[in-house]
Structure formats: structure tokens, C-alpha cells
Amino acid sequence: MLFNSIDFAIFLPVVFLLYWFVANKNLNQQNFLIVSASYLFYGWWDWRFLSLILFSTVVDYSIGLLLKTEYNQSKRKVL
């Protein structure tokens, strides 16, 4: 899906409306919606690369959780 395509012209308003009205200001639902829409947008271009973005999401989220509990500055820099 290209930014200057009809598909994107439909996709963006739908995601925007879902984000503001259906998610009902619940941060967890809004985050889930944005991540799902991002995967859909990325997969629309080429579904074979979805594993790459999924792997990156899992690694980044895991490191973020570790950073949340680690207070030693040298270990935080390694992470």
C-alpha cells in the first residue's frame, strides 16, 4: 500500500475513526489497534516481511521490560 493510493486514502480515515471512537480512550485498546493497523499496513505491501517486524516488536518489547526492572546503569547500557 502506497501513501498516494486509493487504498491508503480509505485505510487512514478508517483507522483514525476506530482509534478515536471505537477504542473509547482506553490506552491498551488504542495501542493494540495501532499495532494491528501497522502490521496490516506493512503486510499489505509484502506479507513476507511481517516476520521481520514481528521479531523486532518482540525483541524491543522484551528489552523494554528488562530496562524497566534494571537499575544498574552499566547493565542498562548493555541492554
Query: Residue 13 has which C-alpha cell?
Result: 480515515
Instruction: Give how far Cα 6 sits from Cα of 3, 10, 41, 43, 75, Å.
Output: 9, 6, 13, 17, 48
Tell if the pTM clears 0.85, that is, is over it: no
Distance CA 79, CA 73 (A): 10
Q: Is the same domain home to 3 and 33?
A: yes
Q: Is the pLDDT at 8 greater than 90, yes or no?
A: no
Domain range spanning residue 27? 1-45
Residue 7: per-residue pLDDT: 86
Q: What is the pLDDT of residues 24-70, one digit of tens each?
A: 778 888 888 999 999 998 888 888 889 999 999 999 999 999 999 98
Q: Is the same domain home to 16 and 2?
A: yes
Q: Is the same domain home to 7 and 39?
A: yes
Mean pLDDT calculated for residue range 14-32 = 84
Q: Is the same domain home to 29 and 55?
A: no
